[in-house]
Copies of this chain bind each other. A is one copy, B any other.
Amino acid sequence: MDSKTIGILGGGQLGRMVVEAAHRLNVKTVILDAPNSPAKQIHAGEHVDGSFKDPADIAKLASKCDVITVEIEHVNADTLADLQKTGVEVHPSPETIRIIQDKYRQKEHLISHGIPVAESYEVTESTEAALVVAAEKVGYPCVVKAKTLAYDGRGNFVLKGPENVKEALEFLSDRPLYVEKWCPFVKELAVMVVRSTDGTTVAYPTVETVQKNNICHTVYAPARDVSPSTLYEAQLVAENAIKSFTGAGIFGVEMFLLENGTIVLNEIAPRPHNSGHYTTDACSTSQFEAHVRAILGLPLFPEMAQMRTADTHAIMLNILGGDKPDSELEYCKRSLSVPGSTIHLYGKTTRPERKMGHINIVASSMDECERRLAKISGEDIEEAPKTVEGVAGTSKTPLVSIIMGSDSDLKVMSAGADILRKFDIPFELTIVSAHRTAHRMAKFAAEVASRGVKAVIAGAGGAAHLPGMVASETTLPVIGVPVKGSSLDGVDSLYSIVQMPRGIPVATMGVNNSTNAALLAIRILAAYDATLHIRLAEYIKNMEKEVLAKADKLETIGYEQYLNQ
């Protein structure tokens, strides 16, 4: 796609996956790193053996390529700046790399551009006294951070009080330090942002990152249980941050979501990032291809960063090395039997805690992704029983929720439950009364969509308010079943349910017809599920056959005998 050759400083897994993306575009790459590094393994071309910190090696790489980029920020930025002066293209710019390399300088840069960050102060010298001075400005507990060469939490120390100051200095040895105010976050969010040579930015979805022992463990895309406006705000913060730097490429932006709902930027990586690995299997264009496009000046546009389809959800699980060779393969072996999971190994020798690979899990819902993750993690999740007797109000991952105003409606509503069971649709079934448990109903309605349910079936009799009230608090389709009471023959319930005001629809069924309510729910699911669609078509065909058989019998034996049988 482009006649330019890309030189990459660093041949680890990030470089490897950039090379993979470049291959598909017929874009040439050259790697500078140790022999047989992961990126070199998958490229038969001529590479440079050496160090991305050595000026001579970098110069050798530059002589073989047109554009230089990095897969790690701890490179020799001075050499890159010198090369840039001689006309070599460098992305992102050496100045950007230099600012980001020093986390304190990065923070000052972000503050000067109005980006929200945690309060922090420089430790003026590596003495206990200086550290105490800085720490007292933000209060205890606080985090002491190394300005440079920090990744996977190795440059951070949580300082609980003045008594730990000595320990902190020893842990972080002689590195330049700063102190950061303790950030009581409820969730860690991240957004990949790709920046073109002209400064245009495109943001990937907001994801949730979960760390274990300071190393990224899982990434949920999109982030779970975060409001749409917060997801959007995180993208804005990330984009604004990246707009403030120069040079092209992909950037990983890590953020904290605080209890009060505000977002604080934690730190930026000027390269492909672990929190964007899910993009390979879940987004239209992967972060690696986005990086190649950006540094070559190829098109970038918002839709490239979207999930592949409207119902795509993903989880990324990092595979870390264990104590024994190949111990990481345990996860991979289980993953081989889990639908929608794709293994990405990096060709590295096993070392404890080393990132050996990752697994991307893709499914139509986050619930399904989580079920798959549990299987890969070797956790047994008991599937909730699907019988009416067994559900007791909660299947763990229902697609349909059946609720009714009173247990007296159960006999009518159970027919619908039977249909769902017949189609193997996971559902829940419980009592929610509009009049007698108003608070429970409001909570149910507010949360039901975010639990992955796709349709609600609500049965009620008399002044049947339940379906309409639930419909007014959820965006899900609500199906109403009028249950016949002791008077008025069900017309009271029917009118109460069907005559909703404009704005809040309830899909109303015939009196007592919960069977059709279940079948409508299945039609809604089947509109997006080809397998279910086929089963539903079969079901309708079978109904036709049954009636034809009856007609045949009626015609054969005559109506009198038919009535007498």
- A residues bordering B, Cβ < 8 Å? 1, 20, 23-26, 36, 40-45, 222, 228-229, 231-232, 281, 284-285, 289, 293, 298-299, 301, 303-304, 306-313, 329, 332-333, 336-337, 339-347, 357, 362-364, 449, 454-455, 472, 475-479, 494, 498-500, 502-511, 513, 515-517, 519-520, 523-524, 526-531, 533-534, 536-537, 540, 543
Contact = CB atoms under 8 A, between A and B. Distances in A.
A519 B534 contact: no
A343 B21 CA distance: 9
A534 B513 CA distance: 32
A322 B313 CA distance: 39
A477 to B, nearest CB: 4
Given A340-B284, A499-B511, A523-B505, A310 B308 contact: no
A520 B477 contact: yes
A43 B64 CA distance: 20
Contacts of A344: 24
A130 to B, nearest CB: 47
Contacts of A530: 222, 228, 307, 310
Contact of A475 (B303, B531, B533): B533
Contacts of A505: 509, 513, 516-517, 519-520, 523
Contacts of A44: 36, 40-44
19 contacts: A1-B329, A1-B343, A23-B41, A24-B342, A24-B344, A228-B537, A284-B339, A289-B342, A309-B364, A311-B529, A312-B312, A454-B527, A475-B526, A475-B537, A476-B523, A498-B498, A498-B509, A504-B519, A505-B520
Given A1-B333, A533-B449, A345 B502 contact: no
Contacts of A524: 477, 524, 527
A23 B347 contact: yes
B540 A475 contact: yes
Given A494-B498, A537-B475, A540-B475, A299 B337 contact: yes
Contacts of A499: 510-511
A306 B529 CA distance: 11
Given A20-B20, A228-B537, A502-B513, 12 more contacts: A41-B44, A228-B530, A232-B534, A311-B311, A311-B364, A477-B524, A500-B509, A503-B515, A504-B540, A505-B517, A505-B523, A508-B508
Contacts of A43: 41-42, 44
Contacts of A523: 475-478, 505
Nearest to A499: B510
B343 A25 contact: yes
A341 to B, nearest CB: 8
Given A345-B25, A477-B520, A293 B339 contact: no
Given A228-B537, A533-B475, A345 B520 contact: no
A211 B231 CA distance: 44
Contact of A347 (B26, B285, B343, B526): B26
Given A25-B345, A342-B24, A527-B454, A228 B533 contact: yes
Contacts of A307: 530
Contacts of A455: 527
Contacts of A1: 329, 332-333, 336, 343, 345
Contacts of A529: 310-311
Contact of A527 (B36, B337, B476, B502): B476
Contacts of A517: 505
A499 B516 CA distance: 10
A355 to B, nearest CB: 14
Contacts of A298: 336
Contact of A303 (B340, B449, B503, B509): B340
Nearest to A503: B543
Q: Give the residue among A228, A298, A310, A533 with the most B Cβ atoms within 10 A.
A: A310
A536 B303 contact: no
A5 to B, nearest CB: 14
A477 B454 CA distance: 13
A179 to B, nearest CB: 38
B340 A26 contact: no
A452 to B, nearest CB: 10
Given A293-B336, A309-B309, A534 B500 contact: no
Contacts of A332: 1, 25
Nearest to A328: B26
A145 to B, nearest CB: 35
Query: Counting chain B CB atoms within 10 Å of each CB, which of A24, A304, A312, A505 scores highest?
Result: A505
Contacts of A339: 284, 301, 303-304, 306
